């Protein structure tokens, strides 16, 4: 997402652990540490209003910061906290929702073309033989993988 935002001239503040700040910068974002009082750290790196929030983590801290920083609830989206979205009146999207699947289908060819042209990097966290798919899934469940997993025959 950071790379795509940068291509459109959008300034993005990305939450991450300090160990991943360089990765956030490499892909065009301004890193801040996640956790309690996140909204204060976001405000410290910009004097511009925060007009959109995309939550991919789903923690209370992340959702609370989004609600504190973004005035218009229609401009907050989560992929990880559907219960909070329903309770607080903002949008949750997921791969199981037909409109989400349709959107991904509509942009897939463009993303593949960008990656093929070297204009979009897809970080790979691991490549696993199909026989190790269960082990790969367990690794994904432990937290931030740092990229995509690929399964090969």
CA diameter of the chain? 50
Question: Is 150 within the bounds of a domain?
Answer: yes
Confidence of residue 147 (pLDDT cuts 50, 70, 90): confident
Same domain, 127 and 82: no
Residue 142 predicted with pLDDT over 80: no
CA distance 132 to 130: 5
| Per-residue model confidence as pLDDT tens digits over 74-95 | 999 999 999 999 999 999 998 7
| pTM for this predicted structure | 0.83
Domain boundary among 92, 112, 138: 92
Q: Which residues contact 68 (CB under 8 A, 6 or more apart)?
A: 39
CA distance 30 to 27: 9
Strands 76-78 and 124-129 come out as: unpaired
Question: Is 49 within the bounds of a domain?
Answer: yes
In whole angstroms, how far apart are CA 150 and each of 21, 64, 127, 153?
24, 33, 5, 10
25 vs 94 pLDDT, higher one: 25
């Amino acid at each position: 997402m950071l790379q795509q935002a940068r291509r459109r001239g959008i300034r993005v503040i990305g939450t991450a652990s300090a160990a991943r700040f360089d990765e956030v910068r490499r892909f065009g974002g301004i890193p801040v540490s996640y956790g309690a009082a996140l909204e204060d750290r976001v405000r410290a790196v910009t004097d511009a209003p925060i007009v959109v929030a995309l939550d991919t983590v789903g923690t209370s801290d992340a959702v609370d910061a989004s609600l504190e920083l973004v005035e218009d609830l229609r401009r907050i989206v989560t992929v990880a906290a559907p219960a909070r979205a329903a309770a607080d009146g903002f949008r949750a999207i997921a791969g199981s929702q037909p409109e989400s699947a349709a959107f991904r289908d509509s942009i897939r060819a463009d993303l593949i073309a960008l990656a093929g042209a070297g204009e979009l990097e897809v970080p790979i966290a691991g490549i696993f033989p199909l026989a190790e798919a269960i082990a790969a899934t367990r690794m994904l469940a432990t937290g931030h993988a740092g990229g995509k997993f690929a399964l090969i025959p």
